[in-house]
Amino acid sequence: MKANEKAKRVDRVMTWIFVAVAGFFILLLIAFALLVIGRGIAGFEPYMLSFTRDGIGNQLFNTVYLVVLALLFSVPLGIATGVYLAEYAKPGKVTHFLSICIETLSSLPSIVVGLFGYLVFIVMVGAQWNLVSGALAVSILNLPLIATTTKDAMESMPKGYRMGSMGLGATHWQTIRRVLLPACMPRILTGIILAAGRVFGEAAALLYTAGMSTDINWSNWDITSPTCPLNPFRPGETLALHIWASRTEAIRPDAAQIANFSSAVLLILVFAFSIGARVLGRRMERKLAGGK
């Protein structure tokens, strides 16, 4: 009985410790968000939301557009890599080497990836700074995260999913495509959210690839034109780069206010994307479970 009571006391103490740690991080996040958003709103002026050189509308569009381009590259390749590692790769030297490569990619500094992207996607190709090069560079940082998340999600699926599907006559690929991937999608979305969050806040890798200039003509929708908003081969300064430039290089008297407001907008954008993706993931999970 004494041992049982001691174990219960230890369990209660550890529970409170973990609750306190979790509460500390929640309070830290709330304080950080209130500080950034509060300072941004305090210095807000209507012209800051304009799509001119004085506002951040173009940088906001570039940020969202770059995230979409980066996810178009990294999500299919990352999911395919995770599926291969979980379902097709046999234990051996090749698989071990591939796992080491993925772990190494996940630990690379973003500035190194930016220099690599500059040499490969800009210099070797003979191109100028453009959004596609930035998206490809950031995708290098995102691939390990999405691949690892997909692999772990598929390996954690109960064996009954595979056995039940194959018992009904489905092939291995049909089981992966119609059973395992849909069931894993809520967890895969978590990796995609983390990857997108990194793209939103990335600056070093984009400094050498996407560039720090933006010249958009919102009346020009010829996608081959260098001023077309949807042209992926034009330079595009993102909000993260704009914040950095406003704090280090800007000579405008309102540079600090613009940087604070840009930080607030970027934080709200990340929160909105994360919450939206979570809601989508829960709806998919309920749908797969037979709910509405």
Asked if 7 and 74 sit in the same domain, the reply is no
Does this model's pTM top 0.95? no
State the pLDDT at residue 25.
Answer: 92
Coil, strand, or helix at residue 32?
helix
In angstroms, how far apart are the furthest CA atoms of the chain? 79
CB 240 within 8 A of CB 206: yes
Same domain, 98 and 130: yes
Together in a domain, 9 and 120: no
- What are the Cα distances from residue 237, in Å, to 24, 113, 202? 35, 18, 11
Q: Which of 215, 234, 230, 241 shows the shortest CA–CA distance to 114?
A: 241
SS3 label, residue 158: coil
Residues 37 and 85 in one domain: no
Distance CA 84, CA 76 (A): 12
Residues 142 and 284 in one domain: yes
Spell out the per-residue pLDDT of the chain, length 292, in tens: 566 777 778 888 889 999 999 999 999 989 998 999 999 888 888 888 888 888 889 999 999 999 999 999 999 999 999 999 888 888 888 888 888 888 888 888 888 899 999 999 999 988 889 999 999 999 998 899 899 999 988 888 888 888 888 888 888 888 888 888 888 888 888 888 888 888 888 888 888 898 888 889 899 898 988 889 999 999 988 999 888 888 887 677 888 888 899 999 999 988 888 888 778 777 776 776 655 5
Q: Are 133 and 210 in contact (CB under 8 A)?
A: yes
String of DSSP letters for 41-61: HHT--GGGGSSSTTSSHHHHH
Domains: count for the chain: 2
Residues 10 and 86 in one domain: no
- Claim to verify: residue 269 and residue 191 sit in the same structural domain: yes
Asked whether 197 and 63 are in contact (CB, 8 A), the reply is no
Q: Say how many Å lie between the first and final Cα of the chain, rounded.
A: 48
Does residue 262 share a domain with residue 147? Answer: yes
Query: How far apart are alpha carbons 157 and 98 in whole angstroms?
Result: 22
Do residues 122 and 14 share a domain? Answer: no
In terms of domains, do 71 and 166 share one?
Answer: yes
For residue 279, what are the domain limits? 49-288
Q: Is the domain of 99 the same as that of 195?
A: yes
Domain holding 88: CATH number?
1.10.3720.10
- Whether 35 and 60 map to the same domain: the answer is no
Domain boundary at 9, 25, 42, which?
42
